[in-house]
Amino acid sequence: MTALVATDLDRTLIFSRTAMGEEQFACLAPECVEMYQGGPLSYLTPDSRILLEELVARVPVVPVTTRTPAQFTRIMLPGGPFRYAVASSGGRILTDGSDDAAWRETVERRVASTSATLDEVTAALRARIDERWVRSLRTADDLFCYLVVDLDAQPADFLPEWQQWCGDRQWMVSQQGRKIYALPQPVTKSAALAEVRARLVADGTLPADAPVLAAGDGRLDTDLLEYADHAIRPCHGELHEMGWNRPHVTVTERPGALAGEEILRWFTGPLGDRHM
């Protein structure tokens, strides 16, 4: 039996040098998969490259990321190009690299009917920050916003208060390293993946009873992991710090880029084999 595999990218399969850590960076001979402003930005290990290529050859794999389409296309991900990818945390479905306008329209209707506007949220955010601890405030894909912060200077009470304010207005907040995201609650990775799955079933690529296997490391991945029949998360990152666990979610034994390798082995290993 086949399966549908959906995986987050940053801090799940690919890592910056900082996120990987100097010890792993020195020992694992990581391969650059993303250049930005003339320099290397993201890496994966040689074993991860081989495992991902093998996985893509066996089953449908859908990259699922909070990155915008432009940011996603910077990544030279092994096994690509991918028939489907989910970008902007579910705000975009890319089909053979092209944006699906109908899906975007669906997302915009859902957001307009339930959530505060992006302008309202960014205005409230600007009123709460200053240059002593915020490096930049950015909007992404005309859909959500995020901060790049100085972790050492970030006020301890900012995140819980901001999460409360946003939650009251049907937005959610996630901190992943130096970035603090705020997204409308209807924008989810799982909703976009469910649409992709329905299309794959409809065209005969995927059996209707094929399970979904998923991986992710942050709060913005929780709905994706909940949606999956079986899932895995690394023993690092936001979800690990939250102590987030579910009966059907495996936790890796190793952190960093080694967790990425472990995740890919899990997809193709004993558990995955029962569903492929």
Identify whether residues 61 and 123 lie together within a single domain: no
Q: Which residue, of 134, 150, 184, is where some domain finishes?
A: 184
157 and 23: one domain? no
CATH code, domain carrying 16: 3.40.50.1000
pLDDT at 276: 52
Q: What is the 3-state secondary structure (H, E, C) of 158-187?
A: HHHHHHHHHHCCCEEEEEECCEEEEEECCC
User: 39-44 and 31-36 as β-strands: parallel, antiparallel, unpaired?
Assistant: antiparallel
Same-domain check for residues 132 and 266:
no
Residues 173 and 191 in one domain: no
Are residues 90 and 194 located together in one domain of the fold?
yes
Which range of residues forms the domain containing residue 152?
116-184
100 shares its domain with 16? yes
Distance between CA atoms of residues 244 and 238, nearest Å: 9
124 and 179 co-located in one domain = yes
Task: In whole angstroms, give the CA distance from residue 217 to residue 203.
Answer: 31
User: What is the identity of the amino acid at 13?
Assistant: L
Q: Residue 54, exposed/middle/buried by CB under 10 A (0-12, 13-18, 19+)?
A: middle
Let me know whether 59 and 156 are in one domain: no
Domain boundary among 136, 155, 184: 184
Q: Are residues 146 and 197 in the same domain?
A: no
| The pLDDT of residue 273 | 55
Angle at 229 between CA 227 and CA 56, to 5 degrees: 95
93 to 46, 80, 134, 199, 247: CA distances (angstroms): 28, 16, 31, 12, 29
User: Which run of H or E residues covers position 119?
Assistant: helix 118-126
Q: How far is CA 202 from CA 93, 96, 193, 195, in A?
A: 17, 17, 14, 11
Helix (H) / strand (E) element for 7: namely strand 4-7
Domain end (from 137, 155, 184): 184
Which pLDDT belongs to residue 109? 97
Question: What's the CA gap between 170 and 111, in Å, rounded?
Answer: 9
Asked whether residue 48 falls in the same domain as residue 16, the answer is yes
Structural domains of the chain, count:
2
Q: Are residues 199 and 230 in the same domain?
A: yes
pLDDT at 275: 52
194 shares a domain with 76:
yes
pLDDT at 173: 97
Q: Average pLDDT by consecutive 10-residue portion of the chain (276 residues)?
A: 92 96 96 97 98 96 97 96 97 97 97 98 97 97 97 97 98 94 98 98 96 96 97 97 97 98 90 51
Amino acid sitting at position 147: L
